[in-house]
Structure 1
Amino acid sequence: MIPATLPVPLEFRLPEAWSPANLDQVDTPGVAFAAVHPEPDNGFAANITIDGEYRLDEATLTEIAEESVLRMRELDGSLVVLHRKEAGSGEAPALTQTLRFSTVTGGVHRDLVQIQVYLVMLDVHDASKRAVIRLALTAAANQIDSVLGDFQDFVSTVRPDSGSK
């Protein structure tokens, strides 16, 4: 599988001990970047993914987040939205949502939690071009608390790539 590309280049810093994943070996359609935690929980490795797209419509971040929920419910009808909150500012809106769902991976039933952060980035040359970036942490329900701080640290480092490297 060919990894997706992001509508805007990003720079970020992975938390210590996390490693970039080989997207050719992971079934992650639409994902441009993935990283995995070094200590799997009962065989499931917590992971961070990044994807994004240009949105030419006027959909709000809440509507975009709900689209994600509906897509995921097609795979697991028991998916529950535990939390959703708008954040950021008028110039840089953001939204977070926490989802709980179940899946079978490696022949094992797993209860998972996914925390999604949606960020809006406007094209500096054309403000009508709105990119929506989704950062997601997926972990076993009993591991989420131990990796949440890493994810929060990661999110705080994500910004448009200035190209100054």
Structure 2
Amino acid sequence: MPTTLPVPIEFSLPEGWRAAPPDEVGAPEVAFIALYPQPDDGFTSNITLDGGFLRDETTMEELADASVQQLLGAAESVTVATRHEIGSAQSPGLTQRLTLTAVVAGVRRDLVQSQVYMALTDVTDPHRRALVRSILTATAAQHDDVLPDFQEFLRTVRPDTGTGA
């Protein structure tokens, strides 16, 4: 069963991308997954969303480091290509690009992940912070082609206030 996000959000998918049930595509640890319509040599680029609640002392850098460590458990190699803090003190965030080599479905692949971490403060309890992490995973050859779609997607991600705006 897929995980759920700690807060409701809304977003729009770029043209051509399609949502898929996380369990059915082998990604039960994510709350949402979208697939690109044109695989590259058998690998389908994807956008995933996951998240959780944060302890007050947890930094974005610690979360990003933990993500790298988790990938090291499944990949042959992982390198942090770039990492930048974004956002504000009230709503901090972080972006990082990782290059990795991993065996996926029996095939050794050079992949790139673009990860975006966004902390959101609970409007009813300002001492509670939620994290929403968006990840683009693509082959090294296709990453730069699908990155603009990921950036378009990120511009639409926002808390769902229930107003339909």
Measure, in 1, the Cα distance between the counterparts of 2:136 and 2:72: 17
**Matching residue's letter, 2:151:** Q
Instruction: Please tell me whether the aligned partners of residues 77 and 102 of structure 2 are also in contact (alpha carbons under 8 angstroms).
Output: no
Aligned residues: 164
Instruction: Please tell me whether the aligned partners of residues 81 and 98 of structure 2 are also in contact (alpha carbons under 8 angstroms).
Output: yes
What 5-or-longer segments of structure 2 have no aligned partner? none
2:90 aligns with 91
Instruction: Please tell me whether the aligned partners of residues 118 and 133 of structure 2 are also in contact (alpha carbons under 8 angstroms).
Output: yes
Within-5 A mapping of 1:14-53: 14-53=13-52
| Alignment RMSD | 1.1
Instruction: Please tell me whether the aligned partners of residues 35 and 46 of structure 2 are also in contact (alpha carbons under 8 angstroms).
Output: yes
Moved over 2 A (4+): none
Measure, in 1, the Cα distance between the counterparts of 2:28 and 2:50: 9
2:129 aligns with 130
Measure, in 2, the Cα distance between the counterparts of 1:75 and 1:24: 18
Within-5 A mapping of 1:4-153: 4-153=3-152
Measure, in 1, the Cα distance between the counterparts of 2:62 and 2:16: 34
**Matching residue's letter, 1:130:** R
What 5-or-longer segments of structure 1 have no aligned partner? none
For residue 57 of structure 1, report the CA deviation from its aligned partner: 4.0
Question: Any idea what the Cα deviations from partners look like across 1:25-51, whole Å, max 9, x if unmatched?
Answer: 122242000000000000101000000
Instruction: Please tell me whether the aligned partners of residues 52 and 130 of structure 2 are also in contact (alpha carbons under 8 angstroms).
Output: yes
Measure, in 2, the Cα distance between the counterparts of 1:104 and 1:25: 19
Q: Report SS of the residue matched to 2:49.
A: strand
Measure, in 2, the Cα distance between the counterparts of 1:61 and 1:106: 31
Q: Report SS of the residue matched to 1:124.
A: coil
Within-5 A mapping of 1:151-162: 151-162=150-161
**Matching residue's letter, 1:84:** R
Measure, in 2, the Cα distance between the counterparts of 1:109 and 1:36: 20
- Structure 1, 66-75 or 141-150: larger mean CA deviation: 66-75
**Matching residue's letter, 1:140:** T
Q: TM-score, normalised by structure 2?
A: 0.96
Q: TM-score, normalised by structure 1?
A: 0.96
**Matching residue's letter, 1:138:** T
